Structure 1
Amino acid sequence: MHAYRSHTCAELNSSNVGDTVRLSGWVHRVRDHGGILFIDLRDHYGVTQVLCDPDSPVFAEMEKVRSEWCIRIDGNVKARDPELVNAKLPTGEIEVFVRDLEVLGAADELPLIVFGDQEYPEETRLKYRFLDLRREQMQDNMKLRSDVVMSMRKRMWVQGFREHQTPIITASSPEGARDFLVPSRLHPGKFYALPQAPQQFKQLMMVAGFDKYFQIAPCFRDEDPRADRSPTDFYQLDLEMSFVTQQDVFDTIQPVLAGVFEEFGGGRKVDQDWPQISYADAAKWYGSDKPDLRNPIKMQEVSEHFRGSGFAIFAKLLEQDGTEVRAIPAPTGGGRKFCDRMNKFAQEQGLPGMGYIFWREKTADSVAQELGIKVKEAQAKLKSGEVEGGMEAAGPLAKNIGPERTEAIRQQLGLGVGDAAFFLGGKPKAFEAVAGRARDVIGKELKLLDEDRFAFAWIVDFPIFEADEETGKVDFEHNPFSMPQGGMDALNGDPLAVKGFQYDLACNGYELVSGAIRNHKPDVMLKAFEIAGYDEAEVKSRFGALYKAFQYGAPPHGGCAAGVDRIVMLLADQQNIREVMMFPMNQRAEDLMMNAPSDPSSDQLMELGLRVIPQD
């Protein structure tokens, strides 16, 4: 028999009754039922119930065993009594009577309990990650992650891609975040960098004639942490293709991701129609370039209904250039308490407030106020039909702009009794983000989201340039390596009107994919950087390899990268990306388990020619 096990803790069933077996694993929990010890023995694959009574030669040793001890047992497989069968377990038909026991690893008192669903502070979980990972949910998350990566690889190979590895130690190259620098011992005073992405290398592969490349690539960025982003490193499905258009890239990655979500989405609906929404429309309709399309709310501009109206705040605002008023429809949100709650939300976001109108059945109170009569008299007139009932608009805005304008707004937004609308005004860039968050909150609170669905959308037509509002200086707004739509002709016009062949894929409010058709023409590349204030010498200095390669017959090429961690987070129905990463950092970019970052020794610093300057 094998030194540690003849079977895993998920393999035994009724066909094994009478067999002598050997199992190894961790003590999941211990139960003492009147002198009979029951132990749930757990390994990576599952759980088997083992038992021991005073007739067993190792009963005394078994009494000493505690939770999370690692043990080996030998025993005989027995059938459970029919009324004791556990249908929830693959091994639920049997149990193993223990004849021999070996303690492989005793456990000290546990800083966190593996069995059950107890909540612990994240700092504790990360410090003792090796214990946290024993928990069932974490085991499931990591299995899912591994299976998703395997599925991605298979789907890429089926489409004719080959996997190639790119360097981990390379030169510093701005990709939109801070580099992690690595000092060179052989070249004192000089530094390598960990790659923010394989961007330049994969483009150079296309120049070298490798038509289709992919990689499950590690990326390193010194970023501020968020719930959906690691502050240090992450993995992406990285791909690049030659002789392709933007649509070719979409047609390549869609079946890969749709297939992964169908395979691992737990039966949730996966949208097959992925709309293409311009960056400008996404901002206008959803207040975000990664909209959650499970939420049916679509914002609309309603400036004309407030221009010259009795609501002075918006009327005066609209006299200024570049301003507008947008409405956020809120179906079923037509109650004063909800409207006041959303107004408070806007104030918490740093705005003065958020105007609103809600529509309701006409009340006796409003009729009495309108006609200058008593409420009882108004009730009688409504009941007799002398005064027509129906719908009325309520709220501060409705009183200020009057019934004609409120009715026009209602019809434009397609709202009715019991519905509401919220309004924000000013220069769009100043309020779009808050409007987008308000849309999300409204959708969730009013239960408008289709939770059982993965809704995808391509965001396209990103602007390449933006102008600083104070100085007017033009710089890159998004990826500087994207091919401008219209090529050199577009760059010779208004730079703020230039759109790039750049795209993101949004799913359920998260950005899953980012990519572009690359600017592979040296003259167009230099012109784009010139507009942003970079001369030829600086381009050659910072992006020398790419610029040089483009002089030697560069093919049109493009690609994208899909965030593996974020995809698994969605599939696992988790809100925090650290729940699907094996050994993540905490929110301060610290590894509490390995004590990183740590102070270097004097010898290390001396060897590298470095000195640490103490921070005040």
Structure 2
Amino acid sequence: MMDTMQGLKRTKYCGEFTAEDIGREAVACGWVQRARDKGMLVFIDLRDRTGIVQLAFDDRTDAELRAKAQTVRSEFVLMAKGEVRRRESVNPDLPTGEVELYVSDLRILAKAQTPPFEITDKTNVKEELRLKYRYLDLRRSEMQHAILMRHKIVKAAHDYYDRNGFLEIETPSLIKSTPEGARDYLVPSRVHPGCFYALPQSPQQYKQLLMLSGYDRYMQIARCFRDEDLRADRQPEFTQIDLEMSFVDEEDVMTVNEGFMAHVFKEVLGVEIPTPFLRMPYDEAMERFGSDKPDTRFGMELCDLSDLLGGCEFKVFKGALEAGGSVRALNVKGAADHLSRKEIDKLVDFVKAYRAKGLAYTRLTADAETSSYEKFLTDAEKEAIRGRLGAEKGDVLLIVADGNNQTVFDSLGALRVELANRLGLIPEGKFNFLWVTDFPLFEYSEEEGRYVAKHHPFTHPAFEDLDKLESDPGACHARAYDMVLNGCEVGGGSIRINTPELQERMFEALGFSEESARAKFGYLIDAFKYGAPPHGGMAYGLDRLVMLMLGKSSIRDVMAFPKVQNASELMTQCPAEVDEKSLRELSIAVTAREEAE
């Protein structure tokens, strides 16, 4: 039979013991990090979420109590009472390393099997095993630090927005399915056979309706769900810091949220973030960095060579320009000794993942020059390219040409970041914020054969583009803004449409019939008829913000129970089949699908 806590209460967390406690009686509890049995001396490192304190037993300890301590193993759950005393051998690497608890009462509250991996921060265990036993992985101080930081960021958000007049209001988790973006997660209704709720991709429409309802400033720590493919910074369920404001323009929303970032970085990390943030139009971001979320911590900007090659006979460049595309390049300064021909061949495969057909290069080493394309150019064209790129000995010039400008931007933008990571060009501990503004309102979807909203269909068009909504939708810009941190979109938002007439025009531009628009969004259009104030807002990806603030490479490292690449959870083995009775109650029939050969 295990011991109980009866008669004892914890008086101090393990990581809180200091020299000021010497001579005092204390009670601590937690898990055994490790135990060291030296015969008449027994030492146990006791761990909780705050840190570690050493429990000590010696030749003056009651023999029965010392024998009990000798039975303790890693991950046993203990409660210990004793006197705090100074350690004979101080451990300077441990915050509690000056003291130890000399134990007079030891309770073994639970025993533990040998865990499948050691509960330490420096672990080489595969992530799959850590996620299968996530409850053990969460005992590691590295994970506990991340979860604590997440808590502090949420608290800072509550404090800041409350101080600035925002009300926290919950919105529904079972909503109407109105897919226009990522796929919805659907929830069958038992009482309405054949009908489904959707889990919210965001609280977008509800928070707009709250503005119409007169609540003026809203915020929420909102759970959101999107059935989309996973990446390092994306999960099927995630958390947003969501907000909306009435009687505002872009400047008002950006100013309030620059203040939030300055507040949260100061409170959580002790880092001063200067405001206002740099602002960059979308077109400039794409031209300079090949990305609408540029990492400005390093240079290596894209360079447009198209105007230099108007009469070029090299078919790769000529074909791209004749198709209406472009020829653009990166100069990787001083990289010739780091990027061998073999490494450059690997980079060709890298850009092909972004639909580029290839990667032209010139490598200028100290004793030789090699190029995959210069022999096809005139001397004037070759020198013009080198001159514009500022090429010098030691540099590597990398060029992508394509008839689709987006392919050029995507491939070179991704290559720029990949090379910066490989070559160590990104400074550590630096936080570069900027706003990307003036986004296109629409983008053309080849798959759907129509324009789709770049952000969502409730974004207000730029005033100067209102007359182009039907005639030239591809030329329309949005009153939208994204907050970018170190090359990641950490939050985004827009000024919203607030009149039924403009919202109906927007749906028409997106290819919705009047009947389809009313079926999906009729309640919103009708609501606008009762007086909606000008309003706008934004939402932060909380998981992504925590990841960036902690310098992690994946949001899985800052979430308690994340999913893996195929959207399953290894610990509970979900999703899983349900029994026939449950399916019948929900009026659902499952059609078996044969696996493709």
Structure 1 residue 561 and structure 2 residue 565: aligned? no
Q: Give the aligned partner of residue 547 of structure 1.
A: 525
Q: Give the aligned partner of residue 244 of structure 1.
A: 248
1:155-174 paired onto structure 2 within 5 Å: 155-174=160-179
- C-alpha distance in structure 1 between counterparts of 2:339 and 2:225, whole Å: 46
Which residue identity is paired with 1:88?
D
- C-alpha distance in structure 1 between counterparts of 2:188 and 2:325, whole Å: 50
**TM superposition shift of 1:339:** 5.8
The structure 1 residue matched to 2:238, chosen from 213, 226, 234, is 234
Q: Give the aligned partner of residue 70 of structure 1.
A: 77
2:435–2:483 Cα contact (<8 Å) kept? yes
- C-alpha distance in structure 1 between counterparts of 2:250 and 2:20, whole Å: 56
Which residue identity is paired with 1:450?
P
The structure 1 residue matched to 2:412, chosen from 417, 435, 452, is 435
- C-alpha distance in structure 2 between counterparts of 1:126 and 1:360, whole Å: 46
**TM superposition shift of 1:394:** 5.2
SS of corresponding position for 2:208: helix
1:465–1:474 Cα contact (<8 Å) kept? yes
Deviations 1:339-368 (A, max 9, x none): 65234312344245311234566x6xx8xx
Structure 1 residue 461 and structure 2 residue 441: aligned? no
The structure 1 residue matched to 2:473, chosen from 475, 479, 495, is 495
The structure 2 residue matched to 1:48, chosen from 53, 57, 60, is 53
1:6-45 paired onto structure 2 within 5 Å: 6-45=11-50
Deviations 1:548-604 (A, max 9, x none): 111111111111000100000111111111110111122222223233222222332
1:271–1:453 Cα contact (<8 Å) kept? no
Deviations 1:112-140 (A, max 9, x none): 21135222222221221111100010010
The structure 2 residue matched to 1:401, chosen from 374, 377, 381, is 377
Structure 1 residue 211 and structure 2 residue 216: aligned? yes
**TM superposition shift of 1:326:** 0.5
Deviations 1:146-190 (A, max 9, x none): 001111111112222121111112221225112121222222222
1:293–1:508 Cα contact (<8 Å) kept? yes
The structure 2 residue matched to 1:108, chosen from 103, 106, 113, is 113
Which moves more between the two structures, 272-281 or 29-38?
272-281
Q: Give the aligned partner of residue 261 of structure 2.
A: 257
- C-alpha distance in structure 1 between counterparts of 2:44 and 2:445, whole Å: 67
- C-alpha distance in structure 2 between counterparts of 1:67 and 1:259, whole Å: 41
**TM superposition shift of 1:479:** 1.9
Structure 1 residue 279 and structure 2 residue 282: aligned? yes
- C-alpha distance in structure 1 between counterparts of 2:33 and 2:365, whole Å: 58
- C-alpha distance in structure 2 between counterparts of 1:262 and 1:412, whole Å: 42
- C-alpha distance in structure 1 between counterparts of 2:267 and 2:161, whole Å: 15
Change in Cα spacing, 1:552 to 1:151, as seen in structure 2 (3 Å) is: same
SS of corresponding position for 1:514: strand
- C-alpha distance in structure 1 between counterparts of 2:390 and 2:263, whole Å: 36
- C-alpha distance in structure 2 between counterparts of 1:586 and 1:474, whole Å: 32
Which residue identity is paired with 1:237?
I
**TM superposition shift of 1:258:** 2.9
SS of corresponding position for 2:49: coil
- C-alpha distance in structure 2 between counterparts of 1:512 and 1:34, whole Å: 55
The structure 2 residue matched to 1:311, chosen from 289, 298, 314, is 314
Q: Give the aligned partner of residue 123 of structure 2.
A: 118
Q: Give the aligned partner of residue 589 of structure 2.
A: 611
SS of corresponding position for 1:615: coil
Deviations 1:420-442 (A, max 9, x none): 32111112123321111111122
Aligned residues: 582
Q: Give the aligned partner of residue 385 of structure 1.
A: none
Gap runs ≥5 in structure 2: 1-5
1:484–1:490 Cα contact (<8 Å) kept? no
The structure 1 residue matched to 2:141, chosen from 136, 140, 147, is 136
TM-score normalised over the length of structure 1:
0.89
**TM superposition shift of 1:224:** 1.4
Which residue identity is paired with 1:342?
I
**TM superposition shift of 1:7:** 2.0
Which residue identity is paired with 1:253?
N
Q: Give the aligned partner of residue 387 of structure 1.
A: none
2:255–2:276 Cα contact (<8 Å) kept? no
**TM superposition shift of 1:335:** 4.5
SS of corresponding position for 1:454: coil
SS of corresponding position for 1:325: strand
Q: Give the aligned partner of residue 591 of structure 1.
A: 569
2:328–2:408 Cα contact (<8 Å) kept? no
1:50–1:98 Cα contact (<8 Å) kept? yes
The structure 1 residue matched to 2:388, chosen from 408, 412, 434, is 412
- C-alpha distance in structure 2 between counterparts of 1:466 and 1:8, whole Å: 55
Which residue identity is paired with 1:120?
V
Which moves more between the two structures, 300-309 or 128-137?
300-309
1:344–1:353 Cα contact (<8 Å) kept? no
Runs of 4+ aligned residues of structure 1 deviating over 6 Å after TM superposition are none
In terms of Rg, which structure is larger? 1
2:244–2:537 Cα contact (<8 Å) kept? yes
Q: Give the aligned partner of residue 386 of structure 1.
A: none
Change in Cα spacing, 1:359 to 1:592, as seen in structure 2 (3 Å) is: closer
Structure 1 residue 527 and structure 2 residue 505: aligned? yes
2:258–2:276 Cα contact (<8 Å) kept? no
Q: Give the aligned partner of residue 298 of structure 1.
A: 301
Q: Percent identity?
A: 39
SS of corresponding position for 1:322: coil
RMSD: 2.4
SS of corresponding position for 2:84: strand
1:241–1:558 Cα contact (<8 Å) kept? yes
**TM superposition shift of 1:488:** 3.6
1:188–1:609 Cα contact (<8 Å) kept? yes
- C-alpha distance in structure 2 between counterparts of 1:346 and 1:53, whole Å: 66
